[in-house]
Structure 1
Amino acid sequence: MNGTSSSGKSSIAEELLQLLDGPCFHMPVDAFHAMRSRREVGPEELPEILRRTWRGFHRAVAGMAAAGNNVVVDHVLSEEWRLLDCLELFSARDVVLVGVRCSLDELERREHVRGDRPAGLAARQFPRVHAHGLYDFECDTTSASARDCARQISTFLPQRPRPTAFEQLRTKLRPDLPAVD
């Protein structure tokens, strides 16, 4: 699932795990950021630390999936390199790309209530996170509950299209990679 901070991805993922058959793993990028030591770093170091964290997260997700696990990922594709990295690493046929949308007003309200995000984070991500423009399924948490979105997604999964959005994006954005069988 891709969406801005505070869009409801983690809440949907928790609900999905209750609805999907078989064992599934929720892998939120926030968990990877939380594993990092809390040592203060300078603003010149932070971008590279964050990039390594995101790259490590992508490889952990790919490893779990390659080992045969079903993985529900919540992600923020607000930088193009993140999507390009995922397109290289993940099996494109097996990825169902879900866009989680929410109005900016509601995102800002949630962010304020949460109090655990930098002010304006969702607003900075908002114009970029869905820039690639292609999903297999989209939901809007502005008014729909996480449970309703999870139900919609679980109903959609058995009828996902071919080629998947991920396959189409891989062909379009990473033509240097071998074609998917």
Structure 2
Amino acid sequence: MEKGMIIVLNGVSSSGKSTLAEEITKFLPDFFAFSVDDYDLVIEKMEDRNNERLIPIETEYFYYRNAAMFSDRGVNVILDQILHDPIALQNFYETLKSYPILLAGVHCPAEELKRREKLRGDRQFGQAISQLNFVHKQEIYDIEVNTHANSMMECAKEIVDWLDSDTPLLGFEKSREQFESTSRSK
């Protein structure tokens, strides 16, 4: 069975990843949006956070393995997530190294992030801006979109057009090599 394609949308909180994932599914109905925020709800239901009875393994460990399981069965998924620390990066690169991946950077200017965060009201104010200190610093993307400069439909179309092109998927592999090289030198 051929592995399912994995589109990875990486960007800070409130950059529009979830909305963009849903927009992509309008162009690609055989793809399914799989958000790390939604997956974290599964983990949260299993835990007893009030009494600090927590699963002692980071959510991303399970999230990327689930994405791999979908792909192994030929299911195409769109990951909506944040590559935010060395542990998440290691889980990401280690787990998905043999999968077909389109790595997409989702960008939005700081002022718009602040505005969106305030409108949402479900995030700690300033979270997105603080994430700008580490998100998009080490990744080499196949494609990058700006959800403020362009509509979600335009951003989705850019990603779909790129996926439909004959351009090789190199972003994930180049990013993984750079991560491993940096990790070895520390």
- TM-score bracket for the superposition, by shorter chain length: 0.7 to 0.9
Superposition RMSD on alpha carbons, in Å?
2.3
2:60–2:91 CA contact under 8 A, matched in 1: no
1:59–1:89 CA contact under 8 A, matched in 2: yes
Note the residue ranges of structure 2 that are not aligned, 5 or more in a row. 1-8, 182-186
1:34-53 alignment to 2 at 5 Å?
Answer: 34-35=41-42, 36-37=44-45, 39-41=48-50, 52-53=58-59
Partner of 1:66: 72
Which digits, 9 at most, give the CA deviation of each residue in 1:58-114, with x for residues without a partner?
Answer: 111111112111111111012132122111111455101000000011001100100
CA spacing shift, 1:40–1:173, aligned 2, 3 Å: closer
1:144-159 alignment to 2 at 5 Å?
Answer: 144-159=150-165
Cα shift at 1:168: 1.4
Partner of 2:91: 85
SS in 2 for 1:97: strand
1:13 is aligned with what amino acid? A
SS in 1 for 2:10: coil
Cα shift at 1:40: 3.9
Note the residue ranges of structure 1 that are not aligned, 5 or more in a row. 176-181
1:99–1:138 CA contact under 8 A, matched in 2: yes
CA spacing shift, 1:24–1:118, aligned 2, 3 Å: same
1:4–1:76 CA contact under 8 A, matched in 2: yes
1:3-152 alignment to 2 at 5 Å?
Answer: 3-20=11-28, 23-35=30-42, 36-37=44-45, 39-41=48-50, 52-92=58-98, 94-152=100-158
1:173 equivalenced with 2:179 (yes/no): yes
Normalised to the residue count of structure 2, the TM-score between the two structures is: 0.82
Tell me the percent identity. 33
CA spacing shift, 1:51–1:119, aligned 2, 3 Å: farther
Cα shift at 1:118: 1.2
Partner Cα separation in structure 1 for residue 79 and residue 73 of structure 2: 16
The alignment covers a number of residue pairs equal to 171
Higher strand share: 2
CA spacing shift, 1:54–1:102, aligned 2, 3 Å: same
SS in 1 for 2:175: helix
Cα shift at 1:173: 2.5
2:11 is aligned with what amino acid? G
